[in-house]
Each structure stands twice: as structure tokens, then as C-alpha cells.
Structure 1
Amino acid sequence: MTDTHASTADRTLDPVTFEVMRRGFEYTCERMSQVLQKSSFSPIIYDMVDFSNAVFDADVELIGQTANCPVHIAAMHFSARASLERYPKEDLQPGDVIVLNDPYMGGTHTPDVTLTAPIFYEDELLGFAVSRAHWTDVGQTMDTHIAGEGLRLPPSKLVSAGVLNQDLVAIIKNMTRTPQYIEGDIQAQLGALWAGRDEILRLAGKYGTATLRQGMSEVLTYTEIMTRRAIERIPDGRYEGTDYVDSDGYTDDPVVARVALEVKGDRIHVDMTGSDLQVEGPINSPWANTVSAIYYSLKFFLNPAAPANAGVYRQIDITIPEGTWLNPRWPAPTLGCTTAASSKVTGAIWTALAHAIPDRIVASTYAECNWFTASVADPETREVQVFSDLPAGGWGGTPFNDGMHVTMDPLGNCQNLPAETAELLFPIRYNAFEMLTDSAGPGRFRGGAGVRLEVEFVGRGQIITMESSRTRQGSPGTNGGGFGSTQKQMRRNASGTLETIGGTDETGNWLPQMLGGVQFRPGESFVFESGGGGGWGDPFGRDPESVARDVRNGIVSRAAAEEHYGVVLSGDLTVDDSATTTRRAAALAR
């Protein structure tokens, strides 16, 4: 990319019009998301916010998005382009909508379904509205072949000139245990597309198509310039990092992501050579998903205030060898690509950046989505229902603040399933959702805390699938910070006894953390403990009063305060200054 391309010479819009255009593209996507969330039928969309919306120009370049699931956004243009290969732009007409969810055609995992609609203004193609949402129970099974993961749609006409393909809808509904959600969610996504179309047409009608197109071009150049300047602030060099999924569910071997960031001037080359080969289990990440994870992982530190559009992509070169688990060949299964693989790409990249910008990097999050899907039979009607949840963990400490408690991994801005919604819709009880003491990694700025979730099955239940990790070792700290806690999956039987079913038990025995087909009797509970974030900086550099406050708030135990921070507390949980000074001095002497 030459300097000429990203110069201000091509900018012709005045600052006010430019800002109206930039904000207009963002508002378009915000309105799309409002429509989708308010009109959808399934809780994973309207409560858990597992969806994303975006608008693209006529060349399928991202020009605007909402802050929904980052892992969706940078993969959506691959889906849109795959759709246009099957249905070329010149053959499209107003009211057309193309649907696909095939992971090997620009998708992520099969439950994420992408709808693409052209936007025409007086017969002129201006761009595309694109909506991706997680549909309930469309592709949920752990398998060694992608065919076992459920319905896979190649690019298909869902709507032709405004007419819904009812035969295709019937096929989709026939492939799920929750057909009551599907048609409503389809209509909600279509409503989001029409809302996006209407807002772009509003801008075109007010400013004209030439100004609109110029605005699209200039927001991309604006972000490119900001990204280039941000990369220039990173010292030139080669920086390496790794992270891993604890297992793929079929062997006990960790599956490793390796990355080398090569920074030179205003460009970054992301090289994932050396990552493990594709695996049997369903954690393989197709090209589009891995590329998306790379983009959003870097965006955190490449001027996060810049408009989120395809301008950031222009300065990043990517190498991912084919046949690795981060660029697998068909028919490798991919169900856990968004939920397991993406977080490990982020972990590896942030580990590498810790060598490049240690004073700006954030310690590792709990680095998981912990997405689980379960079925439960109503004890009265015997109707089998399906629900999902995303029990979050802690984020890592930062150079300025402690990590956030119980916050979704960077891959998404999703939320956990509210207990009130869960108990209203399904024959289950949420018996616990509580923060875990001593789960946060110690540091000058400690990590955020994890959580304990306990779901009781009123009827016969089953964990259909769960992808997790960090069960062998917690999230690492940065710049001397300590590890967060490990994650664990358990069953509580009717008598109250806990049994480890994934992760490390009390005897030190480790069990694979990829769950599938785990049965629960009525009255038994699934218990999950999420991990805390890693700490940032030497724990002995933490202000003793902050440690005492954490103890009073139940974030840190009194014993951990002494062991990890060297802080001794008196009976009223205030700092014993003399004992603390002595203990820290003794530790430094060792």
C-alpha cells in the first residue's frame, strides 16, 4: 500500500459532512441491531446478544458495524463475497436475500447464519446490509466430520425480490429441535436488513449517491491512516507468542496456536506458521474465523478509537498455513472455532504484544467463551427443550487498572442467560451465579474474578456440547503478574456430592474439558467454575489498602493476601502495617 493511497489528497468532503457520513454508517448498524434484538424469538439473540450487523460498500468493504461480536464482523465479508460468487451482483435485484452458514464458505461455526441483502437506490447498487446471528440448535453436535455438525447451507436465495422461500424455511425448521424459534428469528434478521437498507437510502436521498460513495471511501482511508500511525508506534521487530486449547476432546493433547508478529514501519505481518495441524475434534478454525480473530485481537491496540471498518485490514498481512487447525481442510469439524479457537488466537497475539509494548498490553483474559448447549425434558409434557449459556470469567489486569470481573471474552460482547429468562422458559433452576474468591490472578493490578454457575435440571437433561479450556493452567499474568484460577466442570448429584466431569479434580487427575452427551438425572446440577484473568505487574507492588479492600469484598482470601501480596491483616481486616512491611522485606530478601 503506497503513501499516496492513504493520503488526505483524495479527501473532498468537508469535516461536517464526513462526520455525518461516518456516524451515519455506525447508526445504520445500531438500528439494525435494535430491530433484530427487539423482534427475535430466541433468548440467545434477544437476551444473550449473540449476533452482529454491518454494512458494506458495493465492493464488499466493511464501512460500518455495531459493537456486537467481534469474531463475527471481520468474517462477514468472506460470507458476503461467497454469496456473491454464487449470485453475482449484476443478477441481484431489490428485495433479494442470500443465506449461508457453511464454515468453509466464509462462515464461522454452523449455528452462525449470515444473511446478505443488496441495497439499491434508483437501480444503482450502493452496497450491502449483512446480518449474522446464532440460531438455536442449528449445528450442535461434537463430531470428527463437519457433516455431523448439522445443517450446512451453501449460498442460497432465502428471499427473491421480496418473496420468502418457504420451502427453504421448512427445511431449516425440520433440522432443529427448536423450530418455534427459527421462523421468528429469520423474520427478525430480515427486519434488520431492511432497517439497514432504509438508513443507507436515507443518506443517499439527502446527500446524493456521489457524496455517499465518497463518504464510504473516506472513512476507510481515515481508519487506514489511524491504523498506520498506531503501528508506527510499535517498535520494529519480531515478537512471538503461544496459547493453546487444553484438548480437542478426542485426544488428551493440547492444541497449540503459535504466532509471530513482524512489525516493520506501518505494517504488521501475522504469521501463524508452527501452529498445530488440524485435529479430529471440533475446534478447527476455518480461514475466515481465524482472520477475524487476528483483526479484532490487534484492533485493541491499534487505535481502538478509530472507526471499525475495513481500513484496518489494509495494513495487516496474514500467513496461516493450510492444513493447520487454524486453516483446516474440509471436512474438519469446526463447531468450537468461534468459542475455543478464537480466544487462543487472541491469547497468542497478546502474549506476543507483551514483548513489543509491555507498558500498554493487557494480561490474558480467561480466554474462553465457555459456551454450552443443553437439552432438558419437561417432566410433565416430556417435550425436549434446548438452551445455551456463556458463563464468563475475568479479564486480565491492565497497566492502569484491575481486570474486569465476569466479562465476556474479547471474541464477543455477548451476555449470560438471565436466570429469570431461563427459569421462565425451561424446566431448569439457576441455583448459583456467584463470584469466586481467589480466582483473580494476583498482580500490581490484579485480574478480574471468575464465577460459579450451577444449573439444576428439573427434568432429564443432557449437556449436548461444551467447549472450554484453561482447565490445565489458569490465564497467565504479564510483567510479573500471577496466573488466574483454572476452570472446572462438575456434576452435583441429588445428594449434593460434587463430581468433576471436566478439568482437574481434587486428586490432581485431569479429565478432557470438551464435553458431549453428558447425561443428568432430574434433580442433578451442572456446576461450572470459570477462571479469573491474569495479573499485571509484581503483586508486591500492589497498594496494601487495595488488597485489604479485596479481602473485605471477598475477591481475595486473607490467606492469599499474605501469600501472594505479602499483606497481613488485623482482626478487623485492616492492614497491619508493621507485619506487612516485615513480610515483604523478608520476601524480597529471599
Structure 2
Amino acid sequence: MNVSDIRMQVMWNRLISVVEEQALTLIRTAFSTSVREAGDLSAGVFGPDGQMLAQAVTGTPGHVNTMAEAVLNFLAEIPREEMFEGDTYVTNDPWLGTGHLHDITMVSPSFLDGRLVGFFACTAHVVDVGGRGFGADAKSVYEEGIQIPIMKFAERGVVNTSLLRLLKANVREPDQVIGDFYSLSACNEVGHRRLVTMMREIGLSDLDALAEFIFSRTRAATLERIRALPQGAWSNVMDTDGYDEPIRLAAKVEIRGETINVDFTGSSAPSRWGINVPLIYTKAYASYALKCVIAPDVPNNSASLALFTISSPENICNAQRPAPVSLRHVIGHMIPDVVLGALSQALPGQIQAEGAGSLWNVHLSVKPVSKQAGRRAEVLMFNSGGTGARPALDGLSATAFPSGVMTMPIEATEQTGPIVIWRKELRPDSGGAGRYRGGLGQVIEIGAMPGHELDFSAMFDRVNHPAQGREGGEAGAPGEVVLDDGTKMRPKGWQHVPAGRHLILKAPGGGGFGPASERDPEALAADLRGGYVSAGGKS
């Protein structure tokens, strides 16, 4: 490595620190607990041509990888001559942004001495966008909430107050939502300021040379990994719960020369319920699955993503407007397991087992039982099942894969509304048995405060189709949704919990890897001591 390369590496590290501070600004200032506690966000810096240079470490693949494409959509909509210093652009268009209306994406141009040198972009999930609320019950996107086309949130530093008035009139939690809009805008502004400081300090007039350094090395490293893979095509299918009928996901992974394509032909037709996935979101998680296996240590940017192509005819993985897409993550988070199942045939013994996949989110709408004193609130809580066992390690318990969002502390969640979380504990015997045990799910028990009742939006999967093991490993335990009196609830859709009753969620476990008969006796003994399995259970 010569002196020039060392200098470029230092600038690259500095650029990463810029986007990290950008993301931390969003976390520190966000109003929604899903952002500040769970990290359901993304932040990144882009070149003047809209190519993603760097992303913050904090962020979900569904936000980061869709944002990489979304910025190009912003540039196609807003002409260069209409871009000014102090601008911020916004959308929640599911097909141009991140797949559903609850995600707000903001893009801000970055100018240095009057010259456009790049863009900053960020995305966050807001608590409410109006409509039917966060759930699968809508029959079209028009029922799911307010739609914001690509437009200006601010021009030359002046916020579009007409847009804010429209938002306030259409959402249930206007203070939280408007607060998050300002938080997103501030996040990009901090990134811009730090970038300008860096460029002045180093003496850069543009990012062209740094971009070439980043992209050339990223592309070369990813190509080296692809060339080492076996050539051919492998297919896999996986059934999920769906809404009122099972959904089949089918993927064909084809490795030819220096390219990898994943095609979702054979997947179920679009659903009439809000579990459909726009292609931009399917691309994000299919690419993530490939990258986890092929080049997990190579930076994620436009150069690495360009080597993966994702295709699908119109189906549930490529739903067209105006399909309902509010819960696109429920199916979208299953996509990596489908892709990994195909890759396991090309790379036997090297791919982890299936896991819980989609988050066990629950949206609670809490209200007083009478007109007497009480508090209404919209509460969003993120929970996770177990991940699949790995080729040489047990699965992770109560851990979000593939989304990577963090568990929300109960103390923070209880502050957002009149609810009590009575239990939040690991679920024994839920991890699939194997040489390596699947990760455990968890049990969450939730009730409204006295004098209140709640409706909840169920967004759960793996209730009827548990995570399957790999290489002889056993399936994880399926999920369950019940009330404390034993009443069975549906895994999807808005439902009512009467005052005095508790909602109990039993998140699914991950599948095991390898035959259970090959489990290390010491590992089994440790499982028993830790309560991960009961005396009659297996691990």
C-alpha cells in the first residue's frame, strides 16, 4: 500500500465516522421508541450521482439497501437546477422508498462552496401514518395511510409548513410524527456539516477520488469471493403462514461467472391483505442474504450491491401499486431464509438453519374503557424469536435476524402508553434440537393499565410453519398468540383484548443444525442448568 492509498484509507475511516454521527443524531433526537431504542433506521452518504459511498453501522438491511436505490429515485424526480443549499426532500412511497408507508426517507443535498458534492439520506419508522394503522387488514395502499410523493420537506432551509399541517391532520400521534420528521432532517444536516468540515480540513474539493478508491476496492474484493464459488443454479421453496392461507416463497440462485442472480419466479401471487412486498424491499433482503454468505466483511455500498441482481415476475415478492404493503416486513424478512436454503445446496455444511425470520412486532392501540379520566396511546413494540443454529455455533436467542433491530426495553415501552409488560423471558424448549441448538424464542405478556382496554395489530408468522433445521437438525417451536385465559388469537390482523385480560406472545425458536444425537454432552448439560431446555426436552 503506497502513501496515497494510506491517505485514502484514512479519509474512508473519517467518512464512516461522519455517517455514524449522522445516525447517532437520529437516535438521540428521535421521538419514536422504534428508532431511539430499537435502531429501526438507516443513514448514509452518497456521491453527487446518487451512488452510496458509505452507510452507518446502525441500520437495518431493509432500510440501508432500499435507501441505496431510493436516492436514485429522488434524483430522477427532482431536477438538479431545483436543488439548493438547505434543501431536504422526503417520501414514504413504498415503491420508491423502503416498501411501506410507515418508513420516512429524507434526502438532503450537500454543497461545498456552492458546488454539489454529495447527498445524505436517512430513513426511520414512524409510529403512525393514519389510515387503518400498522396492520395487514387494508385491501389497498390507499387505506394504509397518508402517501407522501417525492417532494421538498424544506427549501433553502425553510420548512414546508403546508406539508406539516397535512401530516398533523392525518395521523393519530402528530407530536411524535412531526418530531421524527425534524429529527430526520437534523440527522442529514449533521452529516453535511461534518462532511464539509472533513473536506476543508483535508483539502478536498469533491469526493470523486475517494469514491473511486472505495468502489474499485469493494468491487474487486466482492468479485474475488464470487469467483471462488461453485458455478450453477440452485432452487429452494419455503411455506409461511400468510394471512388467511399459506404463502409459498420460491427462489432460484444462479451463479455464472462474475454475477449472481436471485429469481423469485414460483412464489405465491400477491395477497389481498397487507403482507405484499414491493420489489425494492425484496432486493434489499435478497442482497443481504447473499452478502452475509459471500462477502460479510466487505463494505456495503453501491459497488458491492451492483454485483447482485434480483428479479421476479409480479407476485407477492414483486407486488404492484396499489397492493396493500403495510406488513411487507413479515414476508420480506423470510426472504433471506429462502435464499440461504438455495445456497446451502451449493455450499453444504456452511449455511445456518432457518430462524424465526420476521419480527414479532405488536402495535397496541390503548384507550380508556369509559369517558372517565384515562389516556389514549399508540404503542409499537419490537420483539424477536430465535435465530437458526450455525454450522459451528448455537443459534442466538431472542435476536432479530435478518433485520438486526434491537430489543426495546420494557421500561421505555411502558413510558409510551398506559400498559404493563408483566413478563418478558426466554421460552424454554423452543430452539430446534441439533448438534447445535436453534436460538430460543421469548414469552411476552402485556396488559393495559386498570381502566383501559386495548386493540392490537398481530404481525406474526411461524405459527403454523416453524423454522426448519439444517443438515439433520430439528425444527424450532412454532409461535403462539393467546390471552391469559387460554383464548387463541389470530397471528395476523387487528383484534381486541378486553380490560383485565393479558395478551401473551410466544415467539418461535430457530431450527437446529446437524443431528441431535451429535450434541456435545457438556453443551446439553449447560442447556439444562440454564433452563434453556427442560428435563424432558432436547437440545
Amino acid at match of 2:178: E
The Cα shift of 1:80 comes to 1.9
* Residue pair 1:378, 1:385 contacting (<8 A) in 2 also: no
2:45 to 55, 60, 65: 55
Query: 2: CA distance between counterparts of 1:13 and 1:349?
Result: 41
1:554 to 528, 531, 537: 531
Instruction: Give the SS at the match of 1:98.
Output: strand
The Cα shift of 1:341 comes to 1.8
Instruction: Give the SS at the match of 1:396.
Output: coil
The Cα shift of 1:399 comes to 1.4
Amino acid at match of 2:530: N
1:117 to 103, 108, 111: 108
Amino acid at match of 2:319: P
Query: 1: CA distance between counterparts of 2:303 and 2:511?
Result: 32
2:360 equivalent in structure 1: 370
RMSD: 1.7
| Alignment pair present for 1:316 and 2:304 | no
1:487 to 470, 479, 483: 479
Deviations 1:218-254 (A, max 9, x none): 212211111111122221111111223312x3xx321
Deviations 1:140-178 (A, max 9, x none): 242011100001100111100000111211211221111
* Residue pair 1:485, 1:532 contacting (<8 A) in 2 also: yes
- Paired residues for 1:40-439 under 5 Å: 40-67=30-57, 68-139=59-130, 140-141=134-135, 142-209=137-204, 212-247=207-242, 249=243, 252-321=244-313, 323-337=314-328, 339-378=329-368, 381-411=373-403, 413-439=404-430
Query: 2: CA distance between counterparts of 1:195 and 1:280?
Result: 42
2:518 equivalent in structure 1: 541
Query: 1: CA distance between counterparts of 2:239 and 2:391?
Result: 24
The Cα shift of 1:478 comes to 0.8
Instruction: Give the SS at the match of 2:461.
Output: coil
TM-score relative to the length of structure 1: 0.87
* Residue pair 1:203, 1:212 contacting (<8 A) in 2 also: no
Instruction: Give the SS at the match of 1:239.
Output: strand
* Residue pair 1:242, 1:256 contacting (<8 A) in 2 also: yes
Instruction: Give the SS at the match of 1:500.
Output: coil
TM-score relative to the length of structure 2: 0.95
Query: 1: CA distance between counterparts of 2:70 and 2:391?
Result: 37
2:9 equivalent in structure 1: 19
| Alignment pair present for 1:515 and 2:493 | yes
Query: 2: CA distance between counterparts of 1:154 and 1:104?
Result: 10
Query: 2: CA distance between counterparts of 1:93 and 1:12?
Result: 38
Instruction: Give the SS at the match of 1:472.
Output: coil
The Cα shift of 1:259 comes to 0.6
Query: 2: CA distance between counterparts of 1:26 and 1:500?
Result: 48
Amino acid at match of 1:266: E
2:489 equivalent in structure 1: 501
Query: 1: CA distance between counterparts of 2:239 and 2:15?
Result: 37
Query: 2: CA distance between counterparts of 1:13 and 1:498?
Result: 68
Rg comparison, structure with higher value: 1
The Cα shift of 1:300 comes to 0.6
Query: 1: CA distance between counterparts of 2:493 and 2:13?
Result: 43
Amino acid at match of 1:164: V
Amino acid at match of 2:296: P
The Cα shift of 1:54 comes to 1.0
Query: 2: CA distance between counterparts of 1:358 and 1:438?
Result: 27
* Pair 1:117–1:211, CA change in 2 (3 A): closer
Query: 1: CA distance between counterparts of 2:256 and 2:291?
Result: 17
Query: 2: CA distance between counterparts of 1:79 and 1:174?
Result: 27
* Residue pair 1:244, 1:344 contacting (<8 A) in 2 also: no
Instruction: Give the SS at the match of 1:475.
Output: coil
2:509 equivalent in structure 1: 532
Amino acid at match of 2:327: G
* Residue pair 1:378, 1:427 contacting (<8 A) in 2 also: no
* Residue pair 1:25, 1:65 contacting (<8 A) in 2 also: no
* Residue pair 1:100, 1:107 contacting (<8 A) in 2 also: no
* Residue pair 2:55, 2:64 contacting (<8 A) in 1 also: yes
1:7 equivalent in structure 2: none
